[in-house]
Amino acid sequence: MALNSPEARDLAHHLHSYTHLPSLERDGPLVLERGEGIYVHDTHGKRYLESVSGLWNVVVGFSEPRLVQAAHEALKQMPAYHTFFGRTALPPVVLAEKLVEIAPMEVSRVYFVNSGSEANDTTIKMLWMMAKGAGEPGRRKLISRSMAYHGTTVASCSLNGKPYIGAFGLPLPEVRYVEAPHYWRNAHPGESEDAYSERLASELESLIEAEGPETFAGFFAEPVMGAGGAVPPPAGYFPKIQAVLNRHGIPLVADEVVTGLGRTGNLWGAETYAFTPDILVTSKALTSGYYPMAAVMLSPEMDRRLHRAAEEIEEFPHGFTTGGSPAAAAVALETIALITEPGGLLDNVRAVGPTLEAALRRFEDHPLVGEVRHVGLLGALEIVADKAGKRPFAPEHAIGERIVEMAYTRGLITRPIGDSVIVAPPFIITHEQIEEMTQTLGDVLDELADAATREGMGPEVLAASAE
């Protein structure tokens, strides 16, 4: 790493998010300079295929002139404004109308913030305020799921079903977790998907009845678990969960930050998995990452409850200075147009989704692949050291870090999460580029399999160390 190179300067003074710090010290950062379609170029001119759309979000690719133009026009017209004190610029008004029109459920009002985390935090405050306003201040508890990801602010982070939140002394005491609906990993032998979903729904109901329905404010779920490893739900899961929640008057919050606006092959995960959220949170694809923005969408009943709760103090005492930014809203409107117009990106997701699925299914015979998961333009290969026993590699082998490095060498940016390699390419990807991406991924997994054999990382070693 050359002295004063962007990489050296980054290492010196820039703190990274969710980054394995020993690997960063050893290998240095990847500094990117420009983008072109599904590819990005680093400061040395090396080109990479971005197989995960940045962080699932850059769905239009890295060089969409229409979004640049939309931002430019908005910044010229009205560069910045807020939504406090009954004031607003025009683009958030138009965007709210648009989201009401395309929502998967009846929506009467939309609230804008800057990020998915803020949207989930906002939703929690709304739920608590609604409960209090309805004379049920005891409805404080929030249900999430193991492996869930809902963000990084204090309350959103508390919903993450991951051990690292303990580093912050979280979760908040109000949070309860139910099991992640991962059929391949968690179902009993011989249990059907439907029976597994039924069991999870009755476990949820037992929790609610044991602690008292009158203590619960809401249930949060990603239609497809994203940072939990790209895990689609088993058959029947959401309708069964929804029936339990409805019986006990507990709102269902769909965190569609990953699934929203096309990723699953429909505009919304709620459509793909046949349920009706009370509140829907959308962010990542909303602006394709070109501008920060997220939205909380409220059903008529949620909107009524919030307004009733606000009567006493005559306001919703919450807001972010840059929430509802006119430039962000303009970029969102253009992104939605790109996704929904005839021949647009949603049509492409539907056209190339089967190609991705076929390409991923070819890995089912690979010695390192335990499970292949797929929906729309989202997929995962679950990496195992022992295919039959579904056993992962031991953590000290740092399989994820090795996969990233091997992929970099071949010009591929990939994202291992836990033991899964995720693919979530931009919606503009072509059939040929899907072949290129999965071919490279295959080369990486073959190299890893060779290394595992050579270095004795395989099942024999694990079996031996277990004795």
Ligand X SMILES: *Cc1c(COP(=O)(O)O)cnc(C)c1O
Closest CA to 61 of 330, 328, 291, 288: 288
* The binder of ligand X chosen from 200, 221, 258, 372 (CB under 6 A): 258
Is the Cβ of residue 378 or residue 445 nearer to ligand X in the bound state? 378
User: Per rule CB under 6 A, is residue 282 in the interface with ligand X?
Assistant: no
Q: Considering the complex, what minimum distance in angstroms separates the CB of residue 203 from ligand X?
A: 22
Q: Considering the complex, what minimum distance in angstroms separates the CB of residue 242 from ligand X?
A: 18
Q: Considering the complex, what minimum distance in angstroms separates the CB of residue 332 from ligand X?
A: 13
Residue span binding ligand X (CB under 6 A) among the ranges 42-50, 251-259, 357-365, 420-428: 251-259
> Please, which of residues 219-238 interact with ligand X by CB under 6 A?
222, 226-227
Q: Considering the complex, what minimum distance in angstroms separates the CB of residue 224 from ligand X?
A: 9
Is the Cβ of residue 294 or residue 349 nearer to ligand X in the bound state? 294
Is the Cβ of residue 113 or residue 201 nearer to ligand X in the bound state? 113
Contact between 230 and 422 under an 8 Å Cβ cutoff? The reply is: yes
* The binder of ligand X chosen from 117, 144, 160, 288 (CB under 6 A): 117
For every residue of the chain, which 3-state class applies, written as one string? CCCCCHHHHHHHHCCCCCCCHHHHHHHCCCCEEEEECCEEEECCCCEEEECCHHHHCCCCCCCCHHHHHHHHHHHHHCCCCCCHHHCCCHHHHHHHHHHHHHCCCCCCEEEEECCHHHHHHHHHHHHHHHHHHCCCCCCCEEEEECCCCCCCCHHHHHCCCCHHHHHHCCCCCCEEEECCCCHHHHCCCCCCHHHHHHHHHHHHHHHHHHHCHHHEEEEEECCCECCCCCECCCCCHHHHHHHHHHHCCCCEEEECCCCCCCCCCCCCHHHHCCCCCCEEEECHHHCCCCCCCEEEEECHHHHHHHHHHHCCCCCCCCCCCCCCCHHHHHHHHHHHHHHHCCCCHHHHHHHHHHHHHHHHHHHHHCCCEEEEEEECCEEEEEECCECCCCECCCHHHCHHHHHHHHHHHCCEECEEECCEEEECCCCCCCHHHHHHHHHHHHHHHHHHHHHHHHCCCCHHHHHHHHC
Is the Cβ of residue 78 or residue 170 nearer to ligand X in the bound state? 170
User: Per rule CB under 6 A, is residue 150 in the interface with ligand X?
Assistant: yes
Is the Cβ of residue 42 or residue 255 nearer to ligand X in the bound state? 255
* The binder of ligand X chosen from 121, 255, 303, 419 (CB under 6 A): 255
Phi, psi dihedral angles at 40 (to 5 degrees): -130, 155
Of all residues in the shown chain, the one whose CB is closest to ligand X is: 116
Is the Cβ of residue 7 or residue 222 nearer to ligand X in the bound state? 222
Q: Considering the complex, what minimum distance in angstroms separates the CB of residue 152 from ligand X?
A: 6
Residue span binding ligand X (CB under 6 A) among the ranges 31-39, 91-99, 111-119, 244-252: 111-119
d(CA 133, CA 427): 42
User: Per rule CB under 6 A, is residue 283 in the interface with ligand X?
Assistant: yes
Is the Cβ of residue 269 or residue 353 nearer to ligand X in the bound state? 269
Binding residues for ligand X, total number by CB under 6 A: 15
Is the Cβ of residue 281 or residue 444 nearer to ligand X in the bound state? 281
Residue span binding ligand X (CB under 6 A) among the ranges 127-135, 144-152, 191-199, 455-463: 144-152
Is the Cβ of residue 103 or residue 113 nearer to ligand X in the bound state? 113
User: Per rule CB under 6 A, is residue 277 in the interface with ligand X?
Assistant: no
* The binder of ligand X chosen from 257, 286, 356, 407 (CB under 6 A): 257
400-439 footprint of ligand X as x/- string (CB under 6 A): ----------------------------------------
Is the Cβ of residue 291 or residue 393 nearer to ligand X in the bound state? 291
Residue span binding ligand X (CB under 6 A) among the ranges 205-213, 255-263, 268-276, 422-430: 255-263
User: In what side-by-side order are the strands of the sheet with 252-255?
Assistant: 109-113, 294-298, 279-282, 252-255, 216-221, 141-145, 175-178
Residues 6+ positions from 386 with CB-CB distance below 8 Å? 458, 459, 462, 463
User: Per rule CB under 6 A, is residue 151 in the interface with ligand X?
Assistant: yes
Q: Considering the complex, what minimum distance in angstroms separates the CB of residue 253 from ligand X?
A: 11
Is the Cβ of residue 215 or residue 322 nearer to ligand X in the bound state? 322
CA distances from 425 to 20, 234, 326, 332, 430 (A): 23, 23, 28, 19, 10
User: Per rule CB under 6 A, is residue 181 in the interface with ligand X?
Assistant: no
> Please, which of residues 63-82 interact with ligand X by CB under 6 A?
none
Is the Cβ of residue 108 or residue 153 nearer to ligand X in the bound state? 153
Q: Considering the complex, what minimum distance in angstroms separates the CB of residue 271 from ligand X?
A: 17
Q: Considering the complex, what minimum distance in angstroms separates the CB of residue 294 from ligand X?
A: 6
Contact between 176 and 212 under an 8 Å Cβ cutoff? The reply is: no
User: Per rule CB under 6 A, is residue 116 in the interface with ligand X?
Assistant: yes
Q: Cα dihedral sign for 237, 239, 240, 245? A: positive
Binding site for ligand X (CB under 6 A): 115-117, 120, 149-152, 222, 226-227, 255, 257-258, 283
